[in-house]
């Protein structure tokens, strides 16, 4: 009790001590993360030429990019696209501001018109872009904000439209800027004359080549210090970003042979009728099997991983692994189980029918809000669209000659240009309902058919030759690992993960019969790991770990695990000799071989050198400087440049080329014909310069910019 009283008396002191301890903990964490008291690094994704790109705004753009592409882009891919755009805009904005460039209202309208001129939503009855329709669309978009509507088959809201206009404006300013630069780029007459002569001055020559391959690589020793010297002498070639190297072993959750046998047994158990005890009714139930079922759609949809396809198909549409067997089944017969890709399947012949191989129809399409590829301006509901289609059907049923006059009601502008007619083969990909009516009915039949595109009023005009088609019902069970197999994989992974800590990763993997994969030069913003797919988690771990030998396991797409070990931490700067040896070794060997070859040659003529070195004298005719290629030797700009510095009949000294040591003798010089004017050649030079302005200029501006990239902190 005395102790409790003392604690109560000193409660304020204890509170202060605890508070200081917590504060110290927070401070330590702040300094450890490098963020300190500044919130900038936590809120700024990048700083480009002193301008901050805010994290929230950047991430919103990434999310919009993913939505725009229907989530077909990963977060990292979307982030990289947005990053490229943000960097370009930031780099170029300084140039625009310095010049006072902007896009005015009239130019903006012209740019939007150019971008949207092909959109059906903005065309009038004559098929011409109508600005009033554009204004109406924008006003409607603003009125329903933040709701979305459809534009050219894609969802869009008012915020997205504003971003679109902003992008259009930025693109317009950039084009103006680049055009200004291009306006100052020309090819001079001197450049035109030089370019003309580089292409048309010709020399004939004979030469001898002593290839580097005449000396075996194994005879050339290269030390680590020589590689280091080579790297230092060619620093521009060996500058690298920070990267990481790893080994990994993959543990896949794949179905075992026992699992596959169980899957096949499960399918076979569905074939015949059976009796099962019903716990609810306490009586036996007769269960109709796949062989005898009549409602195939309900049965398949309840027992298969792949839904029932209620249509006749040609033999080519059947699974290739069993097409012959299935196509020749009697009605009501069942084939399988058979393995088709990632499934085991049972297939039953439901019906056989003679189907035309092609059909010619004409149709009128009445869409409704929410239909596939519907125009953003469509307002009809499903019921209203059906009522319209039924009215058209009733008119045509009494008088088919009115079909063309009613085409103006159809939204299918493509077929409207052909009087609404469509001719297609049975194997072509059309809406199932549209296809079924066209091929399973008779010439002259007229009907209203609903598809995902809307309501079609279809008339069958003609049909091709009939062929056998089949309707089948298929039960498909995915080939998946059982719970036991999944547990076994996890246990195997866990044992390996424990065993490799502090031990030789490769040796343990070898003992356990596992394959070690090697991945080098992983960059900080990489997303994928070869053979593992999207693995941003592994990349982040590799850069957060500061100790070679660190081990960690990760889940992998499709099921299973990868156990990775960090094997290399490569800092930004010059490549290590070990890494550089892949490209440096061949170059150093080439230099040493060239010296050996040159030291062994004492002769001075082409013929004598060829004889002494066991080589043949070769000829190359009409060689020019613009395409410096030697017949039988390949691209050799240094050798050909040497030849153009010789007089007719003169022989060169030894020249080290790309593929060996050369000696050339010029046998004929044919100067290019003089032109009265080199303006055409100068224009070609100017056009070639202009063609690379956009890319080269931006790259130069980007290279000169100060870019602080914090993306790896957030992604």
What is the average pLDDT across 430-458? 94
pLDDT of residue 6: 38
Joined tokens for residue 231: 């790297």
Amino acid 166: pLDDT: 86
Task: Assign domain 202-237+579-670 to its CATH architecture.
Answer: Roll (3.10)
Is pLDDT of 567 > 60?
yes
* Region 154-170 average pLDDT: 87
Residue 41: the pLDDT is 58
Same fold, 202-237+579-670 and 243-254+481-571: yes
DSSP string, 359-424: EEEEEEEE--TT-TT--TT----HHHHHHHHHHHHHHHHH-GGGTGGGGGG-S-HHHHTTTTEEEE
| Domain formed by 243-254+481-571, architecture | Roll (3.10)
Residue 28: its pLDDT value, please? 42
Taking only the tens place, the pLDDT of each residue in 629-639 is: 999 899 999 99
Q: Specify the pTM.
A: 0.63
Identify the pLDDT of residue 282: 80
Q: What is the pLDDT of residue 171?
A: 85
State the pLDDT confidence band at 40, using cuts at 50, 70 and 90: low
Query: Helix axis angle, 2-9 relative to 11-33, nearest 10°?
Result: 60
Q: May I ask the CATH class of domain 358-464?
A: alpha beta
**Residue environment code for 59-79, b if the CB has 16+ CB neighbours within 10 A, otherwise e:** bebbeebbebeeeebebbbbb
For position 232, what pLDDT does the model report? 94
Query: Which residues are CB-neighbours of 95 under 8 A, at least 6 positions away?
Result: 101, 177, 701
Q: For 608-646, give the DSSP string.
A: HHHHHHT---EEEEEE-SSS-EETTTEE-HHHHHHHTTS
Q: pLDDT, tens digit, for every residue of 70-122?
A: 767 888 888 999 999 899 889 998 899 888 988 888 888 888 888 888 888 88
Q: Where are the domains of the chain?
A: 2-37, 202-237+579-670, 243-254+481-571, 358-464
């Amino acid at each position: 009790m005395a102790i409790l009283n003392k604690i109560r008396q000193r409660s304020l002191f204890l509170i202060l001590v605890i508070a200081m301890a917590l504060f110290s903990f927070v401070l330590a964490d702040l300094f450890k993360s490098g963020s300190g008291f500044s919130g900038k690094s936590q809120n700024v994704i990048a700083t480009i030429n002193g301008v901050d790109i805010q994290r929230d705004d950047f991430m919103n753009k990434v999310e919009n990019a993913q939505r725009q592409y229907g989530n077909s882009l990963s977060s990292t891919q979307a982030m990289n696209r947005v990053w490229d755009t943000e960097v370009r805009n930031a780099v170029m904005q300084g140039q625009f501001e310095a010049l006072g460039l902007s896009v005015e209202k009239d130019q903006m309208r012209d740019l939007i018109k150019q971008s949207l001129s092909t959109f059906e939503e903005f065309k009038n009855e004559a098929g011409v872009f109508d600005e009033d329709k554009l204004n109406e669309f924008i006003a409607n978009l603003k009125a329903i904000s933040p709701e979305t509507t459809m534009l050219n088959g894609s969802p869009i809201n008012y915020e997205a439209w504003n971003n679109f206009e902003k992008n259009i404006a930025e693109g317009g300013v950039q084009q103006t800027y680049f055009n200004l630069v291009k306006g100052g780029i020309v090819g001079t007459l001197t450049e035109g004359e030089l370019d003309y002569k580089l292409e048309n001055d010709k020399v004939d020559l004979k030469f001898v080549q002593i290839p580097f391959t005449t000396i075996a690589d194994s005879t050339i020793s290269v030390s680590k210090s020589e590689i280091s010297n080579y790297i230092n002498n060619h620093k521009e070639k060996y500058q690298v970003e920070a990267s990481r190297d790893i080994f990994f072993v993959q543990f896949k959750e794949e179905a075992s042979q026992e699992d596959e046998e169980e899957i096949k047994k499960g399918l076979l158990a569905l074939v015949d009728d059976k009796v099962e005890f019903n716990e609810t009714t306490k009586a036996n139930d007769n269960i109709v099997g796949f062989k005898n079922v009549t409602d195939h759609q309900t049965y398949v949809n309840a027992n298969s991983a792949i839904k029932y396809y209620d249509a006749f198909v040609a033999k080519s549409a059947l699974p290739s692994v069993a097409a012959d067997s299935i196509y020749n089944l009697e009605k009501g017969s069942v084939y399988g189980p058979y393995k088709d890709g990632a499934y085991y399947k049972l297939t039953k012949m439901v019906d056989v029918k003679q189907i035309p191989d092609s059909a010619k129809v004409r149709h009128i399409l009445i869409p409704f809000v929410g239909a596939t590829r519907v125009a953003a301006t469509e307002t009809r509901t499903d019921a209203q669209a059906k009522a319209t289609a039924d009215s058209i059907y009733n008119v045509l049923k009494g008088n088919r000659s009115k079909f063309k006059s009613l085409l103006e009601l159809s939204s299918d502008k493509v077929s409207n240009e052909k009087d609404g007619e469509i001719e297609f083969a049975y194997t072509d990909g059309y809406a199932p309902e549209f296809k079924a009516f066209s091929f399973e009915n008779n010439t002259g039949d007229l009907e209203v058919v609903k598809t995902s595109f809307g309501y079609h009023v279809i008339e069958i005009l003609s049909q091709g030759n009939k062929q056998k088609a089949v309707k089948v019902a298929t039960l498909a069970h995915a080939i998946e690992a059982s719970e036991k197999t999944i547990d076994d994989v996890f246990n195997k992974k866990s044992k390996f993960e424990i065993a490799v800590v502090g031990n030789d990763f490769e040796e343990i993997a070898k003992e356990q019969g596992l394959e070690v994969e090697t991945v080098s030069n992983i960059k900080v913003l990489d997303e994928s790991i070869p053979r593992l797919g999207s693995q941003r988690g592994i990349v982040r771990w590799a850069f957060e770990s500061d100790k070679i030998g660190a081990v960690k396991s990760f889940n992998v797409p499709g099921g299973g695990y990868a156990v990775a070990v960090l094997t290399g931490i490569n800092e930004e700067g010059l490549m290590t000799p070990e890494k550089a040896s892949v490209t440096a070794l061949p170059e150093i060997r080439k230099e040493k071989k060239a010296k050996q070859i040159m030291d062994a040659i004492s002769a001075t003529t082409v013929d004598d050198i060829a004889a002494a070195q066991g080589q043949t004298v070769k000829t190359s005719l009409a060689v020019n400087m613009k395409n410096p290629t030697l017949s039988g030797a390949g691209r050799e700009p240094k050798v050909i440049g040497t030849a153009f510095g010789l007089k007719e009949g003169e022989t060169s000294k030894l020249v080290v080329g790309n593929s060996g040591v050369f000696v050339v003798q010029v046998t004929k010089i044919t100067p290019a014909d003089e032109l009265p004017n080199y303006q055409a050649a100068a224009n070609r030079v100017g056009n070639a310069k202009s063609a690379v302005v956009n890319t080269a200029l931006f790259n130069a501006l980007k290279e000169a910019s100060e870019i602080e990239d914090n993306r790896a902190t957030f992604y």
